[in-house]
Amino acid sequence: MEAEATDAPPGGVEVALCCFSFNQDCTSLAIGTKAGYKLFSLSSVEQLDQVHGNNEIPDVYIVERLFSSSLVVVVSHTKPRQMNVYHFKKGTEICNYSYSSNILSIKLNRQRLLVCLEESIYIHNIKDMKLLKTLLDIPANPTGLCALSINHSNSYLAYPGSLTSGEIVLYDGNSLKTVCTIAAHEGTLAAITFNSSGSKLASASEKGTVIRVFSVPDGQRLYEFRRGMKRYVTISSLVFSMDSQFLCASSNTETVHIFKLENLISSRTEEPSTWSGYVGKVFMAATNYLPAQVSDMMNQDRAFATGRLNFSGQKNICTLSTIQKLPRLLVASSNGYLYIYNLDPQDGGECVLIKTHSLLGSATTKENKENDLRPSLPQSYAATVARPSTSAASTVPGYSEDGGALRGEVIPEHEFATGPVCLDDENEFPPIILCRGSQKGKTKQS
C-alpha cells in the first residue's frame, strides 16, 4: 500500500547537504552540512532516529561512520588536508592526520582506513592508525574515486588505473600488493563498488549506460546491465544489496535502477530446455552477424526494478536494506531528504514510495535514551574498532551504538578484527600522540 510522503521538499532542487553517506552495512546514514554533521539510524520506516549531531565542525564535506560503532571520520573545508577521527559517544578526538593535498574521499572497514588524494592513496591500519603504505604511482584521480571491500579478511581496494579509459586496479589491502587490472569500460570510470564479501566488483563509466560486474580476485566479467540508451547520465552511486542478489544505481536523473544478478554471461551459451529458450538462442546467435555495439546491447540485461524521484539534476546516493524485516530502497539526496521505497524482490517493477524524511529538520534523538538504557560496556578505541578473538565460539554478543546489545543480536565473530590495541591508554603502543602529525615521507611508498 502506498503511503503519502510527508515533508515533501519544496521544489525539490535546492542543494542542502555538503555530503552524505551510508555506512558499510546500510544501517546508518551520515550527513555533512555547513553547520556540522549528523548520524541517523535506519531501523524504522516511520521514524528517523538521530544518533548523534555535532555543530562544532563547520563545512563538513566528508563524514564516514564505521559500521554502527562510535568511530566517525570527518573532514572539513576549513582544513581540507586534515582527517579527524572521533569517538563521538565520548566526545573525544582519537587522532588526526594531515596530508600533502586536499582529501577527496575516505573508505574504511574493520581492518583498514584509506585516504584518497588526487594523486595518491594512504593505507592505514585502523586498529592503531599506523600508516602502512602510500600508493603514489596512480593516475590523477580528481574525484577521489575508490572502493574498499567491507570484508576485512581480504580488504580489497579498487581505484582507476587510467585517466582516459575505464581500467580498474585491484589491490590487496592486507598483503599490500597489486592483484590485477581490469579493462572494465572504454570510457573513464564514474563509479565502482564491492559486494559485502569482496567477491564481486561493479563498475560504471562516465557515459552511465552500461554497468558491469566482475569476479574478485580474477577480474572475470560475470554480469552486464544496460541502464539506458537514450541519454548519457552521471552515475552518483552504485551499491550491492547485502546478500549480493541485487545491484542498485542512482544518477542525476529521476530514475533509480535495480538490477538482479541472475544471468551469468557464461551461462547464456548453455543448451536451452524449452522451445522459447531455443528460439531465444537462435535469436542471440544471429547477433553475431550484427555490428558489435548492437550485439552487446542484445546481450545486456535490463533493470529488474526502478524507483522514481519527483526531481532530477541532484546528486543522490542509494542503498538496498532490510528495515523492519522487509526489503527497502533508500535514496538520500543533496536536497536534504531521505526517500524510502518498498521493493518487491520477486516481481520487481516500480518501487512504491512509502516515506520521505527531512534530514535537516527535527528527528528523534536516541543519544540520551541509549545512554540511559545501555549496560556498561568498554568504550576505548580498541572496543570501538576491534574485538579480541574469543575461544572456539563462532559468535559473540552483538554490540552497536544503536542498541544491538539491548536487542540481543548476534554478530559473527569474523565481523571483528583481532588485536587488543587501545589508543586511549598512553602506556600501550602506539600512544595517541603518535597519531597526530603530517603524512610526508613517513612510510613505504610504491
Looking at every residue in the chain, the average pLDDT score rounds to: 79
Closest Cα partner for 32 from 56, 13, 59, 5?
59
Is residue 61 a part of any domain in this protein?
A: no
Residue 438: its pLDDT value, please?
57
Identity of residue 43:
S
Q: For residue 265, what pLDDT band results from cuts at 50, 70 and 90?
A: confident
The CATH number that applies at residue 320 is 2.40.128
Is residue 322 a part of any domain in this protein?
A: yes
Of the listed ranges 93-97, 185-189, 346-350, the least confidently predicted one is: 346-350
- Phi, psi of 359, deg, nearest 5: -90, -10
Q: Give the span between the Cα atoms of 330 and 24, in whole angstroms.
A: 14
Residue 378: its pLDDT value, please?
37
227 vs 269 pLDDT, higher one = 227
Q: What percent of the chain has pLDDT over 90?
A: 64
Residue 424: its pLDDT value, please?
40
Residue 418: its pLDDT value, please?
38
- The domain in which residue 322 lies consists of 234-265+294-361
Is residue 309 a part of any domain in this protein?
A: yes
Q: For residue 245, what pLDDT band results from cuts at 50, 70 and 90?
A: very high
Q: Could you report the per-residue pLDDT of 129-177, keeping only the tens digit for each?
A: 999 999 998 999 999 999 999 999 999 999 999 999 999 999 999 999 9
Residue 264: its pLDDT value, please?
87
Residue 361: its pLDDT value, please?
79
Looking at the predicted structure, is the pLDDT value of residue 44 above 50?
yes
Is residue 205 a part of any domain in this protein?
A: no
Is residue 310 a part of any domain in this protein?
A: yes
Q: Give the span between the Cα atoms of 425 and 404, in whole angstroms.
A: 26
Q: For residue 377, what pLDDT band results from cuts at 50, 70 and 90?
A: very low
126 vs 277 pLDDT, higher one = 126
Q: Could you report the per-residue pLDDT of 426-438, keeping only the tens digit for each?
A: 332 233 333 555 5
Is residue 338 a part of any domain in this protein?
A: yes
407 vs 250 pLDDT, higher one = 250
Q: For residue 350, what pLDDT band results from cuts at 50, 70 and 90?
A: very high
Q: What's the number of domains the chain is made of?
A: 1
Of the listed ranges 96-105, 174-183, 249-258, 417-426, the least confidently predicted one is: 417-426
Is residue 445 a part of any domain in this protein?
A: no
Is residue 276 a part of any domain in this protein?
A: no
323 vs 284 pLDDT, higher one = 323
Q: Could you report the per-residue pLDDT of 328-345, keeping only the tens digit for each?
A: 999 999 999 999 999 998
